[in-house]
Amino acid sequence: MTVLAKSKPEPGLWMETRPIPEIGPDDVLIRIHKTGICGTDIHIWNWDDWAQKTVPVPLVTGHEFAGIIVDKGRNVEGLEIGQRCSGEGHLIGKTSRQSRSGRFHLDPETRGIGVNEPGAFAQYLRLPAFNVVPLPDAIDDEIGAILDPLGNAVHTALSFDLIGEDVLITGAGPIGIMAAAVARHVGARHVVITDINQARLDLAARVADVVPVNVATTELKSVYAGLHMTQGFDVGMEMSGSQAALDQMVEHMVMGGRIAMLGIPPGKSPVDWSRIVFKAITIKGVYGREIFETWYKMIAMLENGLDIRRVITHRFKVAEFEQGFAAMRSGLSGKVVLDWT
């Protein structure tokens, strides 16, 4: 089969031929139709410090996918050959307290396909049947291929009650934009999204009913009057990984505000804890998706009218993968989808 692999400890990925994976009794074999390129894949392509410490070489990468089940192990029940699916890319253990109590997304033994284990940038993927998420007819392969990052957005957005609330999202990358769409879908009063990348802000305005603010040129407080806001934002979602953005978010939260934090500031960032304590702000760290509650909720929302398709800005055949990665690395794209059919 054809794969995209991290074959050498240096920047780039390489198209190669590998054997089709053999499945075990509890696995399925998925024929991949579409894959999304993730920010994590860009770290692996760039071979930055995190990738060098995390990713074994050689490794088939990729973890956002949709396809069809073409084989299944003898113990697999409830799934059928020919069934369309996506899947949870976090492979969990079975022995930890978190896993045994059903909080699978908190299992400390978690390993990721395409990061620690062979991934979905391949014509065929072996996946535990436990991780398979069947796709309803209403969700096509293109949307199925970006359910993983949508799940991150949904997990973050649903961390706190949003009905009637004023929401600030820092970081207008694809996940931030999808989180904005989710927030509006579930009943937030106003959603403001900030960035310093005008192209990403323009995309956010096309995808969701939000107020985009370029904080490089506009004071964030200047939007308050037009939105009939007085104190600040009730709920924040930090998606940028920028300490400056988090500091600005804290400044603009109401007393008792709540922040869900998906972005990861680099290194050991300085934090003025007095501002957080004296404003009685709650901060929740968000990692991945709740397995499988997030999947159920996002599929239900997509079936009920949540529209995120316009966050996909580029589509390439897998043979054009270098163009796809160039688009992602440019900082001017939304989601990039590769076609393996």
DSSP label of 40: H
Question: Do 291 and 104 contact (CB within 8 A), yes or no?
Answer: yes
Query: CATH assignment of 2-146+308-339?
Result: 3.90.180.10
Per residue in 125-160, pLDDT (tens digit) is 999 999 999 999 999 999 999 999 999 999 999 999
266 pLDDT more than 90: no
How many Cβ atoms from other residues are within 10 Å of residue 166's Cβ? Answer: 23
**All residues at 6 or more sequence positions from 271 whose CB lies less than 8 Å from its CB, including other chains:** 243
Question: Do 326 and 314 contact (CB within 8 A), yes or no?
Answer: no
Residues forming CATH 3.40.50.720 domain(s) in the chain: 153-285
Residues forming CATH 3.90.180.10 domain(s) in the chain: 2-146+308-339
43 is catalytic: yes
- Identified catalytic residue from 40, 156, 170, 194: 40
Structure tokens at 209: 């009913």
- The chain-wide mean pLDDT, for the chain, equals 97
Using 50, 70 and 90 to split pLDDT, how confident is the model at 265? confident
Question: Do 193 and 201 contact (CB within 8 A), yes or no?
Answer: yes
Dist. CA 141–CA 143, nearest whole Å: 6
267 pLDDT more than 90: no
- Identified catalytic residue from 2, 43, 54, 282: 43
Question: Do 4 and 62 contact (CB within 8 A), yes or no?
Answer: yes
Dist. CA 196–CA 244, nearest whole Å: 11
Selected from 3.40.50.720, 3.30.70.890, 3.10.400.10, 3.40.1010.10, the CATH number assigned to the domain covering 153-285 reads 3.40.50.720
Residue 73's pLDDT is 98
For 32, half-sphere exposure in the C-beta direction (CA atoms, 13 angstrom radius) is: 30
Question: Do 257 and 279 contact (CB within 8 A), yes or no?
Answer: yes
Question: Do 85 and 132 contact (CB within 8 A), yes or no?
Answer: yes
pTM of the model: 0.95
Which residue, among 261, 175, 172, 166, has the nearest Cα to 221 in the 3D structure? 166
Per residue in 239-258, pLDDT (tens digit) is 999 999 999 999 999 999 99
Characterize the bridge pairing of strands 312-317 and 282-285. unpaired
The 282-285 sheet, strands edge to edge: 211-214, 190-195, 166-170, 233-238, 253-261, 282-285
Backbone CA torsion sign across 217, 153, 236, 229: positive
Q: Which helix (H) or strand (E) holds 65?
A: strand 64-72
Backbone CA torsion sign across 110, 112, 115, 118: positive
Average pLDDT over residues 307-320: 98
Using 50, 70 and 90 to split pLDDT, how confident is the model at 269? confident
Per residue in 56-91, pLDDT (tens digit) is 999 999 999 999 999 999 999 999 999 999 999 999
